[in-house]
Amino acid sequence: MQAARGTSVDSSDSGSADRRGSFLASRAAWVLFAVVAAVLYAADQLSKRAAVEHLSRGEDVQVVGDLLQLHLTRNPGAAFSLGTQFTIVLTCLAICATAVVLWASRNLVDRVWAAGLGCLLAGITGNLTDRMLREPTPFRGHVVDFLQLPNWPIFNVADIAINVGAGLILLQVFRGVRMDGTRHRDDEDAA
């Protein structure tokens, strides 16, 4: 079936936002989401493993002079080492956030949203893995941080992924683009 101007309205189009009966809104966007999440999660876990192996001696490594150094620390709290007494709560929040991101990913059509949510998932699950598997105990594990900038708390690849993901999501929100690729302005124009 053809719509006006020769565009297809067949629901089998890969860019179609209307996927009734399909679990995922767009397989292509979901694959992008999954690949971004998997690659960044792997980078986070491998970099943390390398940091623990090579920085455990207590020696800092200067990467770019005083601008970027490698310094191993274990953080029981949230960003900026806040809430160090609430590690279990932070772990439960991360589990909930993971479920929300996975649930939301079913509606992805827009590629920027897909990349943003993929980054967010990688960061959340990267730090959640530390909280579940690292010492002292499950749900109380300390997150491995090792990247240090001057006058800034020490962080890791998962933290970078969370910030990039949040930035991409905010960009789309400010542009008025929804996860399904539609724009908020389209609704106003139709009314």
> Looking at the annotation, which residues are catalytic?
145, 159
Q: 43-49: long-range contacts at Cβ-Cβ below 8 A with a sequence spacing of 24 or more?
A: 43/157, 44/122, 44/123, 44/126, 44/156, 44/157, 44/158, 44/161, 45/126, 45/129, 47/146, 47/156, 47/157, 48/126, 48/130, 48/144, 48/146, 48/156, 48/157
Q: CB–CB of 55/61 below 8 Å?
A: yes
CA distance 72 to 61: 10
User: Would you say the C-alpha torsion 168, 173, 177, 180 has a positive or negative sign?
Assistant: positive
* Beta-bridge partner residues of 2: 8
| Dihedral of the alpha carbons of 52, 54, 60, 65, in degrees to the nearest 10 | -120
Amino acid making up residue 161: A
